[in-house]
Amino acid sequence: MPKILYVATVVKNHILQFHVPYLRMLKEMGWETAVAARNDFDEPSDCAIPYCDAFYDVPFERNPFKPGNVRAYKQLKKIIDEGGYDVIHCHTPVGAMLTRLAAKKARKNGSKVFYTAHGFHFYRGASPVNWLLYYPAERILARKTDVLITISTEDYKRAQAFKAGAVKYVPGVGVDLNKFRKGDPERAACLRAELGIPADATVFLSVGEVNANKNHKAVIRTLPSFPDARYVLCGRGPLIEEHKKLAESLGVSERVIMTGYRTDVVDFYGMADIFVFPSFREGLPVALMEAMAVGLICVASRNRGTDDLLRDSKLLFDPGDPKDLADKLRLALSSDCTDEIRRNSERLKNFDLNNTLGLVKELYLEAVK
């Protein structure tokens, strides 16, 4: 029975969001599965990973320079050296960096190390600091990677210069298109009432962690120009209080609704009028794909991830230009976007979960044959 170890920095905000379908697939293939990640649940006992035979709580820090990662490395190396894994599949920058350093002995013993780059920190338009810090590190660590999986075409082209065993392109982690369909109108009406949103109000929706990169402040800054709009933000993160203070300073705090982490985001997609995706940087954004699958009008920032999904959209904006965002929101509200929604639906078929599962399954089987 082949054994595989999944490694990522955190459980709740990564493993459970993206990898449960892959763990299920592996169990159906007869593989033994394990996960190494930090338990990031507020209540640690709530941590439960489906289709996982063994879980190792490793104290990864998101900042690669935090000294706590030394302890995480030692713990991870012991797990890998003693695990006898056929495949070690790592994700997230810190988790992947420490895994590839820790797997030196395991690779000599025949283990294959996979790394999925969910979005390199160096990209077209990234700061010089990002290029100086992350580009050399990824080039060096690629030599310790048997299969490097990229999920955007920009990253795939750039990774061709790396000395990994193989560089592959997989279109994202996949979206279950059967799950994300236009919601029940009655449920949408109930959800609006629950959130105190008038039935005739326009709802802008964003889904994602509340941090600087996600750039949700840009949406809040546009609200004074849309007096009938409400902005619903589903997600948790370190900058929630900053966003609340910004909304208060602009006099729109009553129209900004921050829900925290939700497991029922499909209902929110069904309630919204426009999905707004303002990130500065993305690999291939799952939330945007979900909104496209539902058939929402999508107003999104230009970056490598949205380029793959919405490359010819009239509703792409410069994430650093609030006026451009406001203009695109007005355009979305005033235009017939039927053709755009149809094109989004057609393009999304390439990113269907069944397609990405099949591609990754082939790579796993090739690694252990």
Instruction: Give the model confidence (pLDDT) of 253-291 as tens digits.
Output: 999 999 998 888 889 999 999 999 999 988 888 899 999
Positive or negative CA dihedral for 268, 329, 222, 121?
A: positive
Q: What is the CATH number of the domain that holds 199?
A: 3.40.50.2000
Q: 12 and 84: one domain?
A: yes
Q: Is residue 50 part of a domain?
A: yes
Q: 170 and 239: one domain?
A: no
Q: Is residue 20 part of a domain?
A: yes
Q: 156 and 238: one domain?
A: no
Q: 189 and 212: one domain?
A: yes
Q: 192 and 94: one domain?
A: no
pLDDT(219) > 70: yes
Average pLDDT, integer, range 160-184 = 88
Helix/strand/coil percentages in the chain, nearest 5: 45, 20, 35
pLDDT(129) > 80: yes
Q: Is residue 322 part of a domain?
A: yes
Q: Which residue has the higher pLDDT, 304 or 362?
A: 362
Q: How would residue 101 be classed by pLDDT, with cut points 50, 70 and 90?
A: very high
Give the pLDDT confidence score for residue 290 in this predicted structure.
92
Q: 169 and 231: one domain?
A: no
Q: 192 and 76: one domain?
A: no
Give the pLDDT confidence score for residue 254 in this predicted structure.
96
Backbone angles phi, psi at 204, to 5 degrees: -90, 135
Q: Is residue 179 part of a domain?
A: no
Give the pLDDT confidence score for residue 35 in this predicted structure.
98
Q: Where does the chain have alpha helices with state H?
A: 20-28, 68-83, 93-102, 104-108, 128-142, 153-159, 185-195, 216-222, 240-249, 265-271, 286-294, 304-310, 322-334, 338-348, 353-368
pLDDT tens string 139-157:
999 999 999 999 999 999 9
Count of domains forming the chain: 2
Share of the chain above pLDDT 90, in %: 78
Q: Is residue 180 part of a domain?
A: no
Average pLDDT, integer, range 294-317 = 91
Average pLDDT, integer, range 346-357 = 91
Q: Is residue 232 part of a domain?
A: yes
Give the pLDDT confidence score for residue 304 in this predicted structure.
86
- Cβ neighbours for 150, distance < 8 A, ≥ 6 positions apart: 116, 117, 156, 159, 167, 168, 169, 170
Q: 338 and 256: one domain?
A: yes
- Strands 32-38 and 316-317 come out as unpaired
Mean pLDDT of the chain: 94
Domain that holds residue 197: 185-349
Measured CA distances, 293 to 23, 49, 179, 190, 344 (Å): 23, 26, 9, 22, 8
Q: Is residue 165 part of a domain?
A: yes
Q: 305 and 282: one domain?
A: yes
Q: How would residue 182 be classed by pLDDT, with cut points 50, 70 and 90?
A: low
Give the pLDDT confidence score for residue 99 in this predicted structure.
98
Q: 285 and 359: one domain?
A: no
Q: 151 and 205: one domain?
A: no
pLDDT(130) > 90: no
Lowest mean pLDDT among 92-106, 205-219, 260-274, 351-365: 260-274
Q: 356 and 342: one domain?
A: no
Give the pLDDT confidence score for residue 300 in this predicted structure.
96
Q: Is residue 164 part of a domain?
A: yes
Backbone angles phi, psi at 15, to 5 degrees: -55, -50
